[in-house]
Every structure is written in structure tokens, then in C-alpha cells.
Structure 1
Amino acid sequence: MIDQATIDRILDAAQIVDVVSEFVTLRRRGVNYIGLCPFHNEKTPSFSVSPSKGLCKCFSCGKGGNVVHFIMEHEQLSYYEALKWLANKYHIEVKERELTDEEKQAHSLRESLFVVNQFASEYFQDILYNHIDGQRIGMTYLRSRGFRDDIIKKFQLGYSTDSHDALARTAKQKGYQEEFLVKTGLCYRKDDGSLRDRFWGRVIFPVHTLSGKVVAFGGRVLSAATKNVQMKYVNSPESEIYHKSRELYGIYFAKQAIVRQDRCFLVEGYTDVISMHQSGIENVVASSGTALTSDQIRLIHRFTNNITVLYDGDGAGIKASIRGIDMLLEEGMNIKVCLLPDGDDPDSFARKHNATDYQTYINEHEVDFIRFKTNLLMEEAGKDPIKRASLISSIVKSISVIPDSIVRSVYTRECSQLLQMEEKILIEAVNKLIEQAQENKYKEIQRKQRQATQDAQPAPPTTYPEAQPTEIPIPDETQLPPAPLETAAEYIPPTAEQPAGQPASTPVPTDNYLSYIPLEGNEQKLFYKKEQLLLQMIVRYGEKVMCYFEDENGEEQPLTVIECISSSLKEDELQFHYPLDRRILKEAENHLHDEGFVSERYFLTHPDPEISKQAAELASDRYQLSKYHSKGQAIITDEERLYELVPRLLIDFKLSIVEEEMKHTLQALANPDIYNNPEKCQEIMQHYKELQKIQIPMAQKAGDRVILR
């Protein structure tokens, strides 16, 4: 953790115009600056930077925030990594909390391995450029593949001579420990205890982490220089810093292009990525010949929902496409598949075409996965009814793993048309597979929980009677996939923390906030907009005094915006609907009377990136009240009329959220499971009556008429 004092120093030093200017060409427009948005392609500048507020925002795609959020988004770094990036730029020493001895040891080991890998990368590059074999063999091979010198340098390609221990000897001469050479996988020990290089006689492809550190290597054998070697490629083994299932080759060089294009191309090998970069297509990564994993998919998903899988046009490429599809679907990706012409792979095709032609081919030949899989398997099945049934089962299985129920429905309808089958039959098949998957997951959860319970308890004495089996609750961190058909409310009303589709019987930790309103999908609702405007008042003007009141002793006391909103909500036993909004209000209450507390400053520099991001959004002009003019036509600012704005927003919010809550409470009463349970039905009816009691006086204050039910 970075201490708050250091965070404050970083934010004080980091000027947003100075930082953004490193990545965007800005020109002044009034008191602000404007440029082309770095997060999406545009021709008309819509990216605005406000030096006075310390905020930036694209009014086209909506991305922006303070200087830390800009670096997080642009460089795809975590909150603390972005702070360190800024600290390094402004030469600020970062002081972090004291680590435990175990943490220090683990951190030291990881850092040592990264240092050794960096040395090896520079060593391999030096051999490629300055050694006679590097120039004669390594560079000749790379240029024969059509790689330009700037691309070779960009990807830090290198070469290792055919000497079996050249790297080991050089490393030891420079003081690097043998232990780390072995742990990184750069070397391994022979039976006699001596070190042997793993990558001798090969062209070297360094693998970079998301932040650009060299985490591993791949080496391609050159038959002209290396004989009697069977494996074409050798890769670094797993280590404390390298897990091949979590890394994607080229992600460091592709991340910004993926965000900008909102699309990622997935290929198979190192040279595919390099050739496509050289042709001008940079939003491309490779699984490095390994089977695609969930961790790799989630890494892509951080930057985009859209992925196009590029494979060779031969049978192996087609089968490889099929194998990875279900995993991509399960992670909620939008998938297309593009098969290149026979005889071409992404590398060779890129060498024959420029970026425009390549993109045109992909756009014309990429196929949605349903059509791709259906057409491919239909061709294989022919008129054989058994194979056709197997084909349908395979497609239905793919559809069933899609987490979004709307997307599942669309694909089911399209599949029905392609296969000329009744949609009802396919829906039943999909729902059956979903139910089966839920049941299997539930049983697995029960088994693990039961095992954990047994492990945590000592074995009872033999004199004890045999224990009766008990129902094991599902732990709250486990989320089951949504059921195919969902009712308006489950037996137990969902809380604001309960994800949509999660069975209501699952115990969910709460902060004493109970609501029948779903947590998601409320962006167009009135209460959502009013809640955001109230939160904006807290962030922008929370510590400001909006009016004065007389206490019990008849003395005038100031009333701040935070105190007004907090006390007003508590008076009617209401809260903000969203957990993050409740957290912000709670922290505002706790820190209001801290010395020097300024709400906007406090939340913009908050160590929790979710809070600081929300604060940056609220401090910008996304949620803007209408302009107000006095009789003399002079503009009156929001701060000058807080005494009027805040109470009005509070009444509007309360009325709208109570009305929405009443609507969803009535829907819950219509649920047969609740209707047939007198006790539960009475409980929910009582909740509805309490809402009515709250609504009536508020409506009277607002001058509204309410029809009593």
C-alpha cells in the first residue's frame, strides 16, 4: 500500500495537461484543452482536458477521469501501478507499508528473477546485433522472414549462439547467481552439476507481461546452425513469475490498440503477431501454440468484449477454432472466426498484404461463431441423421454456456433458422443444459462446503450418537449462472448486493439495506439519476454550509450538504440504492469534521480506485443540472443555491425510489412461492404498507397527489 501522504504528493505534482500531452496532441480552447481521444478512433476532437479541475473526459466515448485514471486506462495499469508511473515521472519516492519477512522474501525472489530475465534479453539482443553468428545466422533468418529492423528492435528479438553454455558463463561473470538462472529456466543443470543454456542456437522471442517486463522466452531452432535438435520451438518452463496459461504473447504491445479499436485478433504464434504488427495491425495477441485458457481470455476481456480468431485455412486450423469457442463464450465474449485462404497463416498472409487489404479481407470473411460452427458441422454431417443430431447437441451446448440470457435467446433463434428446427425444442434443450450445469455446480459447492465443515470440526467421540445430515448453505462468494426464466422476486427478497439471477436462498452479506429493486439495469430510472445528482452534491460541495438552524439552546448551527443529505435519508429510513454510493456517503459522514476536509479532494484522491473513478465522473459535467438565471439574467452557480437544490433533489429522489420500490414489492407479491406462503406474504405486505406511509407525507411536501391503494 502507498501511504496517503505520498499519494497526495504525487497528485499535487502531476499536472494533467503535462501527462496527457505525452500521449495526445492538445490545443487550447478557452480555459481548457482539446484533442483527439486516445481511447477510440475519431476525426473530430472530443477529448477535453481541464487543468483547473485536473480532469479529462471524452464527450464521445465517455472515458476520462483524473490524471491517475487516465494513466490506468491508457497504459492499462492498476491504480497503484499508475501512481508509481506518475511518481517515477515526477521523481517522487514511493513509500509503501512495511512488508512481512515472507512477503519481503517472495518480493525479493520475484524481482531477482525479473532482473535476470532483463539481463538475458539484453544479452540475446547484443548477440544478434554485435556477434558475427548473430549477424550471419540470426539476423539473416529474421530478414528472410521479411521483418524490418524497427520491428525486430520493437519486439526485442535476439539470438543465442550454438555454444551450449555461453549465456551461463557470461551471467556468472557478471555476478548473477546460478540459482536464479535455473529458476527462470534460462539454464538447467546436467547430471554432473554443470549449467547448460536452454536456448542455445536459437532465435529468441521475449515474452512480456502486461506492464512490459520480460517474463519468459521462446526460442526457434535454426536447422542451418543447429543439428540433431528435434523441437522446433523451446519455451521457458513455469516459474515463480511465469505461468504460461496466464500470459499472451504481444499483449504489452497490443493493449492500447485493442482498447482503441475495441477489438482483438487472436492468432497462434510469435511470428503471426510480429508480421501483423509490421503490416499495420497492432491489436493482435497470440496464445503461443498452447490451448487457450480462461485466464488468457479474461486478460483480453479487460480491454474488449470483441474477439476475432484467425487461424490457418487447413483442417487443423478449423478444429483449433472449434475447441476454443465455448471457453470464449463462457466468458461473455463476442466472437467471430476468420479462416485464411488455404496455404496461408496470419504470418504469411500479412507479408503479402498491407493493413488495409488485411482488414478488408477479415471484415469480408469473418463469420459469427453460430454460422461458422453450424456450416462447418453441417458439411461434415451430410445427410446422416446421427451426425446431424450430434451437430445440434454440440451447437446447443455452445449456446448454453453464454452467460447473458438475451444473447442466448438471439443465438437460439438464429440457430433455429439455420437448422430449420422449432425454436421451442432448442430452448428446452438449452434450458435443460443450464439447469444441469447449475445442479452440478450446486452439488460441487455443497460437497466442498461439507468437506470444509468436516475439516474444521474435530471428530466426535465414539459415544456420540450419529449426526443427522444437515443442509449446507451456499457461500456468498459463489454465483450460480442465471436461470433461463426468472421471476420478478424470489422467495426471499434480493438485497442490493445480491447479483441478478442469484438464487434468493443464497445468504448474502448486507449493510441492513433491503430492496426488491434489481441492482442492474436502472440507468434510465428517475431514482438512479436523482441518486447520482445527490452524490454529485456530496462530492462537489459536501463540506459546504448550505444553511443554518437553531439547536435546542436557540443557538445557530451550520448545516453542511453532507449532514443535510444524511439526516434527511435517515429520517425516512431510506438509503442510496447502490453499495458504492452508500460507501461514499458513509465515508463523507465519517470524515466531514476532519481538519482540512474537502470532499472533492478527498474522494478524487481516494486509494480505492472505484471511489476515485466515481468521484471523477461526478466532478465532471456528466451529471449537470439546468442553468439558472436570476431576474437580472446573471448566472447563479449551483453552490450559491445549495439551500434550494439539495432539498429539492432529496424529495425527488425519495419519491422516485419509494415509487420504484413499491412497484417491485407488488411484483414480488405476485410470485406464487410467496403468495402461497402466508407468513412471507404478510411480511412483504407489511413492507409495502410502510412504503406507503413514507410516500404520503413526501408527496404532500412535493405537492403531488397520491391515489391510495
Structure 2
Amino acid sequence: MITKDTIQTIIETARVEEVIGDFVTLRKRGVNYVGLCPFHNEKTPSFTVSPAKGIYKCFGCGKAGNPINFVMDHEHYSYPEALRYLAKKYNIEIEEEEQTPEQLQELNEKESLYSVSAFAQKYFTDRLNNSEEGKAIGLSYFKNRDFREHTIEKFQLGYSPDSWDAFTKYALENGYKEEYLIKSGLTIDKNGKRFDRFSARVIFPIHNLSGRVIGFGGRILKSAENKPKYVNSPESDIYNKSKVLYGIYFAKSAVISKDNCYLVEGYTDVISLHQAGFENVVASSGTSLTTDQIRLIKRYTPNITILFDGDEAGLKASFRGIDMILEQGMNVKIVMFPEGEDPDSYVRNHRSIEVEEFLTGQTRDFIQFKTNILLKETKDDPVKKAGLIKEIVQTISLIPDQITRSVYIKECSVMMDIEEQTLMNELNKLLRKKFREKDKQVIPVELHDVYEFPSEQKLSINILDTYVLEKDLTRILLNYGRQKLKLNQTISDDQKEVIVENVAKFIINDLKSDGIEFSTKTYNLILQDYDSFLEKDEVLTDNYFVSHKNSSISSTATDLLLSKYYLSENWEIRERIFTKKEDDNLYDTIYRLLIRFKDKKLDQKFFEIETKLREEFDDNKRIELQKEYIEYKKISMEINRQLGRVITR
């Protein structure tokens, strides 16, 4: 594990313009650099690099971060890999932390599992190519599927002999411990008897992102009662099937270059397509698609095309899994193969050019496809059509991007012959419900497209207002946290003294004195970090947050540090506050934000008490609520008095 000191040295040494300059042509513009964004296609530069802050941001696609983030995003490296890349670039010697006995044991266990898995793969490959049984059964099976020798070698396909314990005996003879044979799942221990899990099966090794074998899939070829056609390795310290996609190691480069990933069901589908030249293909290996698998694909592309065999019932059963993909903000397309065909069989029966033409011609947008499928079932039944509308709108509501949702609403209104506004109202109802269910988290984009507000109108607007103020206060903290303020402190009626306090301390202490926290999770985490370090008389730098291990904090800090310096425009318009730039009079800007923030927090309190009063029938409890309301009203009047003073300055 790389030491914290080494990581800090890398962060302090790496120059953002130099790191990005290795991949992007940058041009000086004022104190910053600009260039064409490497993360999306553009003709006009919107990619900004700030050497002074050590960060970058694309104002087109939103990608932002520090040199480590850039290397991770651009080269698809893990955090440790990115650190090692930068250390090599800047000739920084990497110091590794001395590991505890427990950490060493865990590391050794994992390495032992990798070792025995690699040994097993070589054994199965050898049995496939160099044993009479393997050639007669396993190799002939692969060749009957038109797998070429190079393909068999590339995917490290193999064969496990038709024997109770041939592999287990051979592994033990070669010094591998029974403990790891069992933990890896290669050997099964039942009532003290050991036998091979993959006996009499062709073998499909499963690789991780770096190409190491972590597990296996095995297909039985002879008919056998009470035996499944396919078996897979059980989960272990190196194999978590919900986080792995078959073929991802061989596909990732093609997925990046094609900006699309084909998702299929089985091992042979992956291999056949790959061999035919469609290398951007992976499989979920017979498991239901998981969020981790979707995110794994999203590391390389936001576009996914799912290939289904000609079974409409199977497609409908997969709708929930596809909804999960949409929820991750990905673009989903569908290809349905002719009845009786699957990707493997279609590729074997057609030339590559024909497969390409088929995939291009048959690719359909998922939501449009789903709408058409369900419309067939509704016919002229109004009850079924109402159910269809709710299901389609529910699917659209999962899409994070507001514009994409609006486009789908417009298209589906035509397809379903229903007014666009009706669909939009249903969508907004679902978005508000989802918003309320998010515990103390605000997603303003979910409110921006709400056309109608029922009884919760006042609360919804206040939540948005509060979010805007929390964002502004956090931006002030990040940009001016260490800057000094001169404050007048009253000692007595006729005596005042000037004290000097940094911005971070002033804001934190003011909020703490009223017991107020931010509602937005990421902003509150930043607030807590400032507070914990202030207790040690330290003020955090912006670089601390840009390089934060929490990616949400890191990306938020980067975004806010590159935001324009302004008090949000909606405040100037709605509240009739007209200011110069905030840093012309920083104290007034901060004071105004804090007072407004408290005012909006009070509005939320009033709403909560009013709601309780409507629902409470116990007289004593109602009296207590009314007393609480009156106390808050006194505070509100004082805030209004202060607001009046600030506004007229």
C-alpha cells in the first residue's frame, strides 16, 4: 500500500497542465489553458485547465478533477495505478507502508488463489490440446462451433477430464494446498471426500480487468441426469460474480474505441462475436445484470447495446434489468435476433459483413422498443393502456438527464397517442416522490422540470432555495476559506474591538452557534471536514478537497472552484439584491448568504409545524406546537430586520 507521504508528494509535484498536455493540445488563455475535451467530441474548446488551482474542468460534458482524476478517467486506471503512473512520470520513489500481519495474510491468501487459478487454467488448456480425451471431446466441440485455433488460445479455453479427482490429485502433487483448491472452488470437499468441480466439462476461464484468471465456467457435453449444463466457480476473495463481466479484459479497448458495448448472455456468444471482429462484447455469465456490472461498462462507455435471441418473453423478463442501466445514466439500445437464433448461431451462419449490416439495421432504442412491445398487448383496452402509460413513464423517470427525459416524453406521447402534458404531469409526480424519498439529499435537476406543484409547492421551492444557498456557502468556503476578515466585536455598549478571523472559521462558528448543518450530503461532508480541522487550528486548502478520496467531494470541489465568482443570479432577481462582485465586500456577501440560509431553514421549520398542526388532534400537543411556532416566528422577525439592513447597504 502506497504511503500517505508518497501520495502527498505526488499530488504536490504533478503539474496539471503537464499531465494533461501529454494527451491534449493546450493553448494559453489568460491565467488558464484551454483545449478540445478528450472525453467528448467538440469543435470549440470548452476544456479548461487551471495551473493555479491544479484542476481541470470541461464546461461541455462536466468532466473535472485533478491530475490523478485525469489519468484515471483518460487511461481507465485505478487510483493506485494512476498514482504509480504519475510517480514514474515525475521520478518519485514509491514508499510502501509496512503491512499488518492481517493485511499480509489477506494479501497472501489472494495471491495463493490467483496462483492456483493460473495453475488450473494451464492444466485445463494442456488437457484440451494434449490428451486424447481432450482433443476428441473438448477440442472437437470448440471446432464444431467454428472457433479458430487463435481464438481458443486467446480465450485460454480448456477441458477437464472425465474423472472424479484428476485435477485435484495433480494440483496436490505439484505442491498446491488443499485449502486453496477448496477456497477457489476448483475442488469440492464433501464429507471428507475430494472431487473436481469441473469434471468432464469444457472450460471457459474468467479474467479480471488486468487479465488474471479469477474463476471458471464449465459446460458439460455428455448427457447426464441431475447435472446442470453449466457450472461456475463459487465466489471467493478474488471472484465476485456480481462485479465481473465475461470477456471484459479482451473487450475494454474496443469498447473505448467504438464507444459502445454489446451485452450478450453466454460465453460462446462473446467468443463468436469477438472472432467475427466485434470485439466490444461482454457477457453477464448467466447471472442477472447487477449495478456493479453496469458501472463497470460505464467506465469505458455510456452506450450499451443488448443482444437478445428471438424470444420476446425473455426480453420482457429482462425489462427490470434494463431499467437499472437507464438509472445509471446510460443509453440503451436493443437488437432482437430472428426466432430460433442467438448471437452465437447467427454469427456462425452469416458472414461478418452480414452480421454488421444486421446489427446496424436492427438496433432499436430501448424505450421506443418497450413501448411498441407493450402497445401490442393493450389493443383497445383502456385499463391496460393506463397501465402501459404508467410503466413507460416510470422507466423514463429513471433517466437522470432532464433533456433526455423530455425527448422521450415527446416521442412516447406520439407513439401512445396521448397528450404530452399528461405524460409530463405523471413524470413530475414520480420525480417529486423520488425526491422526497432521498434522505436529506437535494437533486435540483429533478425540480427544475416540475411543471406543477400541488400542496407541497412551498416546501419544494424552499428546498431548492436552500440547495442554492448551501452551494454558494460551500463555494465561498473553498475559494476564500483561508482569507482573513476584519470583524467588529462588541465588548460593551460604548466599546468595540476589531478582531481578525478567517472566512472558514467565521462561517463554521456562525452555523454551529445555531446548530445548523447542510441538508445536501456532499456539502455537509465538506463542512464537517472544515470543522474537524478548525478544532486543531488548521484551515484546509482547496487542494485537500480536490484530492479527496471521496470522489463526490473531489468532483464537487473542482466544480465549485472553477465556478464564476457570483452570488447566484436568481437571488439578485427574486430578492432584489444588487451587488458588486462578492470579493469586493466579502463580509457582506457571507453575512447576506448566512442570513438568507437561516431564513429558508426557518421556512422549512414553519412548513413542518404547520403540517403537524393539521394532523394533530391532541390539544396539549397542539399547544406545544403553537408555542414552538411563536418562538420561531420571533427569530424570523429578527432575521427579517437584519435582512432589511443588509439589503439597503
- Shift of the 398–352 alpha-carbon distance from structure 1 to 2, 3 Å rule, reads farther
Give the alignment partner of residue 530 of structure 2, picking from 588, 598, 608. Answer: 588
SS of the equivalent of 2:175 reads coil
Alignment partner of 1:565 is 2:504: no
CA apart distance, 1:545: 3.1
AA paired with 1:25? F
For 2:463 and 2:191, how far apart are their aligned partners in 1?
A: 63
Q: Give the C-alpha shift of residue 217 in structure 1.
A: 1.3
Q: In the alignment, does 2:183 pair up with 1:183?
A: yes
1:535 to 474, 477, 480: 474
- Equivalent position to 1:693, from 628, 633, 638: 638
Q: CA deviation at 1:116?
A: 2.0
CA distance in 2, matches of 1:549, 1:426: 56
Matches within 5 A, 1:434-449: none
The answer to whether the 8 Å contact 2:546/2:554 transfers is yes
Structure-2 change in CA distance of 1:545 and 1:127 (3 Å): farther
Aligned partners of 1:41 and 1:260 also within 8 Å: no
Aligned to 1:217: 216
> Could you say if the C-alpha distance between residues 7 and 554 of structure 1 is closer, same or farther in structure 2, counting changes exceeding 3 Å?
farther
Where does residue 343 of structure 2 map in the other structure?
Answer: 346
Asked if 2 retains the 8 angstrom alpha-carbon contact of 1:187 and 1:195, the reply is: yes
Aligned-partner SS, 2:60: coil
Q: 2:313 aligns with which of 293, 311, 319?
A: 319
**Which residue does 1:606 correspond to in 2?**
548
1:208-607 matches, cutoff 5 A: 208-209=207-208, 213-220=212-219, 233-251=230-248, 265-277=262-274, 284-292=281-289, 308-313=305-310, 317-329=311-323, 333=327, 337-349=334-346, 352-353=351-352, 357=357, 360-364=360-364, 368=368, 370-375=370-375, 377=377, 395=388, 404=397, 496=440, 522=464, 528-529=467-468, 531-547=470-486, 558-567=500-509, 569=511, 576-592=518-534, 599-607=541-549
Find the aligned partners of 1:663 and 1:3 in 2 and give their Cα distance.
Answer: 48
Distance across 1 between alignment mates of 2:296 and 2:15 = 30
CA contact (8 A) 1:655 1:699 kept: no
Equivalent residue number for residue 587 of structure 2 = 647
CA distance in 2, matches of 1:529, 1:424: 28
Match of residue 452 from structure 2: none
**Alignment check: 8 A CA contact 2:533 2:540 kept:** no
Name the SS for the 2:563 alignment partner. Answer: coil
Q: Hey, what's the Cα distance between the residues in 2 that align with 1:484 and 1:611? A: 25
Shift of 1:62: 0.8
Shift of 1:218: 1.9
Secondary structure of the residue aligned to 2:318 is: helix
What is the distance in 2 between the residues matched to 1:237 and 1:149? 29
Q: Deviations over 1:392-422 (max 9, x none)?
A: 6985895697694999999999999878899
Q: Which amino acid aligns with 2:70?
A: F
Equivalent residue of 1:310, what SS?
A: strand
Task: Tell me how far 1:248 sits from its aligned partner.
Answer: 3.0
Question: If each structure's helix is expressed as a fraction of its own residues, which one has the higher value?
Answer: 2
Seq. identity, %: 35
* Aligned partners of 2:37 and 2:47 also within 8 Å: yes
Residues in 1 aligned to 2:360 and 2:536: alpha-carbon distance in whole angstroms: 60
1:64 shift after superposition? 2.2
Aligned letter for 1:563? K
Q: Distance in 2 between matches of 1:232 and 1:98?
A: 44
Distance 1:369 1:126, change over 3 A: same
Q: Is the 8 A contact 2:595 2:643 kept in 1?
A: yes
The answer to which of 344-353 and 551-560 deviates more is 551-560
SS at match of 2:62: coil
Q: Deviations over 1:103-126 (max 9, x none)?
A: 765554344223322343455567
Kept in 2, the 8 Å contact 1:2–1:97? The answer is no
TM-score, structure 2 length as denominator? 0.69
Asked whether the 8 Å contact 2:270–2:281 carries over to 1, the reply is: yes
Task: Name the amino acid aligned to 1:205.
Answer: F
Size of the alignment, in residue pairs?
A: 598
Q: Which runs of 5+ in 2 are unaligned?
A: 445-457, 568-580
Q: CA deviation at 1:311?
A: 0.6
User: Structure 1 pair 80/414, CA: closer, same or farther in 2 (3 Å)?
Assistant: same
Contact 2:162–2:200 at 8 Å: present in 1 too? yes
Cα distance, 1:583 vs structure 2: 3.3
- In 1: Cα distance, 2:233 partner to 2:302 partner: 30
Give secondary structure in 2 for the equivalent of 1:582.
helix
**3-state SS in 2 of match to 1:92:** coil
Q: Is the 8 A contact 1:279 1:353 kept in 2?
A: yes
Structure-2 change in CA distance of 1:146 and 1:659 (3 Å): farther
Match of 1:61?
61
Matches of 1:424 and 1:600 in 2, distance apart? 45
Distance 1:375 1:399 in 2: 10
SS at match of 2:320: helix
Alpha-carbon displacement from aligned partner over 1:536-559 (angstroms, at most 9, x marks no partner)? 343244223355878969987543
Supply the distance in 2 between the matched residues of 1:98 and 1:688 (Cα, whole angstroms).
Answer: 57
Match for residue 458 of structure 1?
A: none
Residue 588 of structure 1 and its aligned partner are, at CA, apart by: 2.3
Amino acid in structure 2 at the alignment position of 1:272: D
Q: Does the 8 A contact of 1:25 with 1:35 survive in 2?
A: no
SS at match of 2:95: coil
How far off is 1:259 after superposition?
Answer: 8.2
| TM-score normalised according to structure 1 size | 0.64
**How much does 1:618 deviate?**
3.0
Deviation (angstroms), 1:689 = 4.6
Query: Which of 20, 24, 48 is the aligned partner of 1:26?
Result: 24
Q: Say which of 601, 618, 622 aligns to 2:563.
A: 622
* Alpha-carbon offset, residue 82 of structure 1: 5.9
Q: Deviations over 1:558-579 (max 9, x none)?
A: 4322233334556777654534
Pair 1:703-2:644 in alignment: no
Partner SS, residue 653 of structure 1? helix
RMSD: 5.6
Residue aligning to 1:7: 7
Q: What code does the residue aligned with 1:321 have?
A: L
Does the CA contact (< 8 Å) of 1:183 and 1:239 recur in 2? yes
> Do the aligned partners of 1:16 and 1:54 also contact (CA within 8 Å) in 2?
yes
Q: In the TM superposition, what is the alpha-carbon distance from 1:65 to its structure 2 partner?
A: 0.5
Q: State how far apart, in whole Å, the 1-side matches of 2:231 and 2:290 are.
A: 20
Q: Deviations over 1:135-181 (max 9, x none)?
A: 9997887677566788767x643333758567556644553223312
Deviates more, 1:548-557 or 1:679-688: 548-557
**Secondary structure, counterpart of 1:559 in structure 2:** strand
- Distance in 2, Cα, partners of 1:7 & 1:487: 39
Code of the aligned partner of 1:674? R
Structure 1, residues 279-310: CA drift from partner, whole Å, max 9, x if none? 66566432223444676567668888875432
What do residues 570-609 of structure 1 show as CA deviations (whole Å, max 9, x unaligned)? 6777654534323323432442486886512333343444
SS of equivalent to 1:368: helix
Of 358-367 and 538-547, deviating more is 358-367
When residues 310 and 584 of structure 1 are mapped into structure 2, their CA distance, relative to the original with a 3 A threshold, is same
8 Å Cα contact 1:262/1:303 also seen in 2 = yes
Contact 2:582/2:589 (<8 A) preserved: no
- Could you tell me how far 1:8 is from its partner in structure 2? 1.5
Q: Distance in 1 between matches of 2:609 and 2:119?
A: 68
Q: Which residue of 2 aligns with 1:95?
A: 97
Counterpart Cα distance in 2 of 1:288 and 1:557: 66
Letter in 2 for 1:544: Q
Residue equivalent to 2:578: none
User: Relative to 1, partners in 2 of residues 1:76 and 1:58: Cα closer, same or farther, differing over 3 Å?
Assistant: same
